[in-house]
């Protein structure tokens, strides 16, 4: 018998494990991208899921601390791509800020690059690269991707 992808007979015993691969397979998840093997770049997860796992490992991390860490990393990416922090955007766009954020009002090209930068930033964090150096690398990546993707016919058709 299965309940939501987990075998009920597994749960009460120590043999129960939830791996990223199992999460993706059993729940058809799009928010975790597992990767393994010799040339793997690692497993990527949506920031909200990452923070939940981090909370399990470090239960003393409060919700406000999680939001601060997420906002700080989001601002690194915002500055690299948009040239401003979320707060600066809100200050410059008070009428729009009431109904969303900088990411809600951008085009498809920027959203694609944004997604790529989030993955690259996660990889750079894993390599232990300091935030200031990551910002420079992410900005250079954003510029290169903007030049390449700006001429992409498929992306233009989707937009």
**Consecutive 10-residue averages of pLDDT for the chain (159 residues):** 55 66 74 71 65 54 55 78 86 86 86 88 85 89 89 72
pLDDT at residue 1, rounded to an integer: 38
Find out whether 34 and 28 touch, Cβ atoms under 8 Å.
no
**Beta-bridge partners for 97:** none
Torsion over CA: 125, 131, 137, 141 (sign):
positive
Each as own residue / partner, the long-range contacts of residues 38-42 (CB below 8 Å, 24 or more positions apart, any chain) are 41/123, 42/122, 42/123, 42/126
User: Residue 121 burial by CB count (10 A; 0-12/13-18/19+): exposed, middle or buried?
Assistant: buried
pLDDT at residue 4, rounded to an integer: 54
């Amino acid at each position: 018998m299965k309940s939501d992808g987990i075998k009920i007979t597994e749960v009460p015993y120590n043999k129960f494990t939830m791996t990223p691969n199992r999460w993706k397979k059993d729940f058809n998840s799009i928010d975790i991208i597992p990767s393994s093997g010799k040339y793997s770049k690692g497993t990527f997860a949506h920031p909200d899921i990452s923070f939940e796992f981090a909370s399990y490992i470090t239960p003393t991390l409060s919700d406000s601390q999680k939001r601060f860490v997420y906002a700080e990393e989001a601002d690194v990416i915002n500055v690299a791509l948009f040239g401003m922090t979320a707060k600066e955007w809100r200050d410059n766009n008070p009428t729009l800020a009431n109904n969303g954020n900088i990411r809600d009002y951008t085009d498809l090209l920027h959203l694609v690059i944004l997604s790529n930068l989030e993955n690259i930033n996660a990889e750079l964090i894993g390599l232990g690269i300091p935030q200031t150096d990551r910002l420079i690398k992410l900005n250079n990546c954003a510029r290169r991707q903007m030049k390449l993707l700006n001429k992409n016919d498929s992306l233009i058709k989707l937009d």
